[in-house]
Structure 1
């Protein structure tokens, strides 16, 4: 046998030994079904059954606007919004708050809440934003 043949035979023998060792030590734990895992993740992300208040909590709105939505030093109160907003305008604001910053009321907010930025929720489902708008306009 030549040296290359000895090396190939050694590697083949080692491979077979490791393969048999792996089979001998394998536990009978069930293998994960990744297709089912994808479904469960999609169900977790589904917000169909959540109310507007629950969605606001999930999106982090209560961190700045307060648990009772009456405002904090980080964000204004979110009560009596129906005097300023229609449902469609509020949804549009939630999707892109920067487009409303030229209005006088928002200029006052910029002075009252310096260095605070309302995040855009353009990546959220419009139906979820509609639920939030309905909730806020009903308060």
Structure 2
């Protein structure tokens, strides 16, 4: 099954912009194929303003988000695989969505069997305790 993350990112982006708010994304800059200016990365993350007026040639595909932006006056082409997007939200009120690895099939789509401790085990009781009511 396809990841829902790119669809949710686009939907929240549209919702934020439609409400005249500023869409921001938080990106795991340490993931493979992420192309962002490294000097703005803090603790392995970078937060980017993707407001239509702040970026050029924005493309939000199923595999990646890419656009042109300026950082301290220097033009950069930004490329972010969708799996590297950890959150998208409105700057003004913080409303949006945070993504976890589980939502994206972080284990390459494979599911592991539940551990024995999480398997439902019915409690065994003695004989049923029923009474006749007249």
Q: TM-score range by the shorter chain?
A: under 0.3
More strand by share: 2
What is the TM-score of this pair, normalised by structure 1? 0.22
Higher gyration radius (CA): 1
